[in-house]
C-alpha cells in the first residue's frame, strides 16, 4: 500500500460527486430530506470541511478516546465518589442524562440523513463520522449512568426519559425533532451543527467538563470532555454549508434558519443549563453566572462567527438580552414548585450564601425573585411544606413547551406586560411565552399547529384522570421517581435570607 501524504489523495477519494442521469435530482435528493433552497447541484460540490480526517484515523482516534474513558469509568464506578457528590450536582447530572442521552442517539439520525442526503460527497463523508460520533455519545451517556443504577435508580431516565411524555421531554423532543430528527439535511447543518452545536453545546460541554472536575465528578468530567472532542469536529459541517448558501445569494435563507433555531436553543438552554449553573452547581465551584456565561461564550464569541459570514444578529436580540436577566430564575422556581414532575431532586439553591451570590450577579434578585422563596420558606418553617407543592398545572408555551413566565418578567421590571402572546387559528387557541416563540410558530404553522402541549392533552381528555396524580402517571413518573426537595428543605431552615 503506497504511503502517500494524506493531502495527495484525500480530495480524490473524498469527492465522489457525479452528474445524475438515471434519476432526477429530486429523486436522488428529495427536498423534504435534503432541500437545496434553489442552490444548483454543482455549487454544492465546493463544500469543503475545515477539519479533515480519514476513516482509519477516525477509528484510531475514537478507540483511543474510549480506552481512556472506560479506564476512568472502570475505576470511578467502583468508588464512593458518586455517593459523596453534592445534591445539587446530582440534580444537574440526572437532568443532563435524561435530557441529552437519547437525544444524542436521535442526533445520529440527523447526521445519517446528512450522510445520505447532504449535497456534496465531502459533506456526506463528514456526516458519516458525525453519525458514528452521535451513536457513541448516546451509548456512553446511557452506559455511564447504567453503571451507577445501584446508587441512584432514577439514572435509568437516561434511557427512559425520551420514551415518556414527561413535560420537559416533550419540550426537548419538540425542538430536537425540529432541529434534526425530522429536518432536511441543509437545514440540519445550519440549525444543528452551526447554531446549536457550535453556538451552544460545544461551549456548554467545555464549561460542564470544567465544573465536573471542580466538584470532584471525575467520571462525568471525563465523559463530557471526550464527547466534546467529537462535537468540536462534526459541528464544523455548518460552516461550509453556510458558505455555499451565502455564496449562492441565499444569505436570507441561512439567516432565517439560524434565527429560528438560535431562539429555540436558547429556551431549552435557559431551562437546562440556566438552572444547573446558577442553582445546582455548588456555590464554591461556580466560575460564571449563567448570564456571564451567555454574554462571554455564546453572545460575544458566537456573534463574531455570525458576522464572519455576513450574517446579522437575530431580530429579537434585545429580547434575548432581556430574558437573560430573569427567565431562568422563573424556570427554576417552576421546576422547584412542580418538582414531582421531574425525575431529579431539585435543590432550591437559595440559602443565605446563595442568595447573596445571586444578588451580586443579578442585582435586584432578592426583591424580584427572593420574595417567592421567602413565602415558600415561611411555609416550610411553619410546618406546611405541602404549600410548596402544586395543585394545578402551569400554562406552557405552544412553541417551546416550557411554562409561560411572563408575569415574572413583568414583576421584575423587564417586561411591559405580564400577559402572554396568543393566536387563534383553526378553531384552537395557542399561547406563547414570548414574541419570538410566536414568530417561530407563525413561520411554519402547518408544522406546529397539530402538536398538543401537555396542557392541551389535559384539557382534551388524553390525560386521565385530569389531576396531578393522573398527569404524573401520564408522564411516566411513579411515586418513587417523582422529584423531591434535594436537601430536605435545609435552605429554608438556614438563617434568615441575606439582605443586600
Applying CB under 8 A, the residues found at the interface with another protein are 330, 333-334, 337, 369, 371-372, 374-376, 379, 387-388, 390-395, 403-408, 411, 418-420, 422, 429, 431, 455, 458-459
Cα–Cα dist 149/271, whole Å: 25
Toward another protein, which CB reaches closer, 46 or 419?
A: 419
Question: CA 336, 164, 144: angle at the middle one, nearest 5?
Answer: 80
Report residue 356 as a C-alpha cell. 447573596
Cα–Cα dist 341/96, whole Å: 16
Toward another protein, which CB reaches closer, 220 or 365?
A: 365
Q: Are 239 and 125 in contact (CB under 8 A)?
A: no
Toward another protein, which CB reaches closer, 75 or 419?
A: 419
Which residue matches cell numbers 409561560? 404
Report residue 277 as a C-alpha cell. 449553573
Toward another protein, which CB reaches closer, 92 or 376?
A: 376
Shortest spacing between CB 458 and another protein, in angstroms: 7
Shortest spacing between CB 389 and another protein, in angstroms: 9
Shortest spacing between CB 280 and another protein, in angstroms: 19
Cα–Cα dist 398/404, whole Å: 9
Toward another protein, which CB reaches closer, 419 or 462?
A: 419
Cα–Cα dist 172/174, whole Å: 5
Report residue 4 as a C-alpha cell. 502517500
Toward another protein, which CB reaches closer, 76 or 404?
A: 404
Shortest spacing between CB 396 and another protein, in angstroms: 9
Shortest spacing between CB 352 and another protein, in angstroms: 20
Distances (CA, A) of 420 to 262, 323, 325, 432, 436: 21, 14, 18, 6, 12
Toward another protein, which CB reaches closer, 61 or 379?
A: 379
Shortest spacing between CB 373 and another protein, in angstroms: 9
Cα–Cα dist 212/224, whole Å: 9
Distances (CA, A) of 124 to 15, 44, 205: 10, 12, 25
Shortest spacing between CB 330 and another protein, in angstroms: 5
Q: What is the CA radius of gyration of the chain?
A: 23
Toward another protein, which CB reaches closer, 302 or 393?
A: 393
Shortest spacing between CB 455 and another protein, in angstroms: 6
Toward another protein, which CB reaches closer, 263 or 369?
A: 369
Distances (CA, A) of 9 to 14, 131, 175, 240: 8, 24, 40, 21
Q: Are 120 and 44 in contact (CB under 8 A)?
A: yes
Neighbouring CB atoms inside 10 A of 44's CB total 24
| Omega before 465 within 30 of 0, i.e. cis | yes
Shortest spacing between CB 385 and another protein, in angstroms: 11
Toward another protein, which CB reaches closer, 54 or 395?
A: 395
Shortest spacing between CB 357 and another protein, in angstroms: 20
Shortest spacing between CB 334 and another protein, in angstroms: 6
Which residue matches cell numbers 423534504? 32
Report residue 248 as a C-alpha cell. 449562492
CA-based torsion, 190, 196, 200, 203: positive or negative: negative
Shortest spacing between CB 429 and another protein, in angstroms: 5
User: Which residues does 68 contact at the CB level (< 8 Å), separation at least 6?
Assistant: 222, 226
Report residue 292 as a C-alpha cell. 456571564
Toward another protein, which CB reaches closer, 39 or 380?
A: 380
Neighbouring CB atoms inside 10 A of 483's CB total 21
Toward another protein, which CB reaches closer, 403 or 497?
A: 403
Q: In the 3-class helix/strand/coil scheme, how is 166-213 assigned residue by residue?
A: CHHHHHHHHHHHHHHHCCCHHHHHHHHHHHHHHHHHHHHHHHHHHHHH
Amino acid at each position: 500500500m503506497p504511503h502517500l501524504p494524506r493531502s495527495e489523495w484525500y480530495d480524490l477519494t473524498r469527492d465522489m460527486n457525479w452528474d445524475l442521469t438515471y434519476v432526477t435530482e429530486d429523486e436522488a435528493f428529495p427536498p423534504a430530506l435534503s432541500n437545496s433552497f434553489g442552490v444548483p447541484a454543482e455549487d454544492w460540490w465546493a463544500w469543503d470541511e475545515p477539519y479533515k480526517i480519514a476513516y482509519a484515523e477516525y477509528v484510531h482516534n475514537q478507540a483511543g478516546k474510549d480506552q481512556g474513558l472506560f479506564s476512568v469509568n472502570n475505576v470511578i464506578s467502583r468508588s464512593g465518589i458518586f455517593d459523596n457528590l453534592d445534591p445539587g450536582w446530582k440534580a444537574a447530572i440526572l437532568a443532563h442524562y435524561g435530557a441529552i442521552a437519547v437525544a444524542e442517539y436521535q442526533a445520529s439520525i440527523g447526521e445519517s440523513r446528512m450522510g445520505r442526503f447532504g449535497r456534496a460527497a465531502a459533506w456526506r463523508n463528514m456526516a458519516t463520522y458525525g453519525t458514528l460520533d452521535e451513536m457513541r455519545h448516546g451509548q456512553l451517556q446511557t452506559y455511564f449512568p447504567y453503571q451507577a443504577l445501584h446508587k441512584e435508580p432514577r439514572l435509568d431516565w437516561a434511557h427512559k426519559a425520551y420514551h415518556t411524555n414527561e413535560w420537559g421531554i416533550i419540550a426537548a423532543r419538540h425542538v430536537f425533532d425540529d432541529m434534526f430528527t425530522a429536518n432536511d439535511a441543509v437545514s440540519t447543518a445550519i440549525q444543528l451543527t452551526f447554531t446549536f452545536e457550535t453556538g451552544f453545546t460545544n461551549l456548554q460541554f467545555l464549561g460542564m467538563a470544567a465544573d465536573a472536575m471542580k466538584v470532584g465528578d471525575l467520571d462525568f468530567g471525563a465523559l463530557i470532555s471526550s464527547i466534546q472532542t467529537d462535537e468540536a469536529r462534526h459541528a464544523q459541517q455548518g460552516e461550509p454549508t453556510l458558505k455555499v448558501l451565502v455564496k449562492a445569494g441565499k444569505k436570507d435563507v441561512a439567516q432565517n434558519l439560524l434565527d429560528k433555531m438560535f431562539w429555540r436553543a436558547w429556551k431549552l438552554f435557559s431551562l437546562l443549563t440556566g438552572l444547573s449553573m446558577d442553582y445546582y452547581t455548588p456555590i464554591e465551584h461556580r466560575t460564571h453566572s449563567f448570564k456571564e456565561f451567555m454574554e462571554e461564550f455564546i453572545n460575544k464569541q458566537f456573534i463574531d462567527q455570525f458576522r464572519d459570514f455576513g450574517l446579522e444578529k437575530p431580530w429579537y436580540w434585545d429580547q434575548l438580552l432581556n430574558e437573560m436577566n430573569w427567565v431562568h430564575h422563573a424556570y427554576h422556581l417552576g421546576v422547584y414548585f412542580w418538582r414531582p414532575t421531574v425525575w431529579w431532586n431539585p435543590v432550591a439553591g437559595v440559602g443565605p450564601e446563595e442568595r447573596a451570590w445571586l444578588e451580586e450577579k443579578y442585582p435586584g434578585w432578592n426583591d424580584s425573585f427572593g420574595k417567592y422563596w421567602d413565602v415558600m420558606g415561611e411555609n416550610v418553617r411553619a410546618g406546611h411544606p405541602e404549600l410548596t407543592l402544586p395543585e394545578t398545572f402551569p400554562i406552557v408555551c405552544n412553541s417551546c413547551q416550557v411554562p409561560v413566565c411572563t408575569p415574572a418578567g413583568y414583576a421584575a421590571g423587564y417586561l411591559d406586560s405580564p400577559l402572554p402572546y396568543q393566536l387563534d387559528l383553526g378553531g384552537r387557541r395557542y399561547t406563547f411565552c414570548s414574541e419570538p416563540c410566536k414568530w417561530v410558530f407563525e413561520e411554519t404553522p402547518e408544522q406546529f399547529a397539530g402538536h398538543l402541549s401537555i396542557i392541551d392533552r389535559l384539557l382534551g381528555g388524553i390525560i386521565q384522570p385530569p389531576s396531578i396524580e393522573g398527569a404524573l402517571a401520564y408522564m411516566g413518573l411513579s411515586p418513587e421517581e417523582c422529584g423531591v426537595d434535594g436537601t430536605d428543605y435545609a435552605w429554608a431552615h438556614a438563617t434568615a435570607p441575606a439582605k443586600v
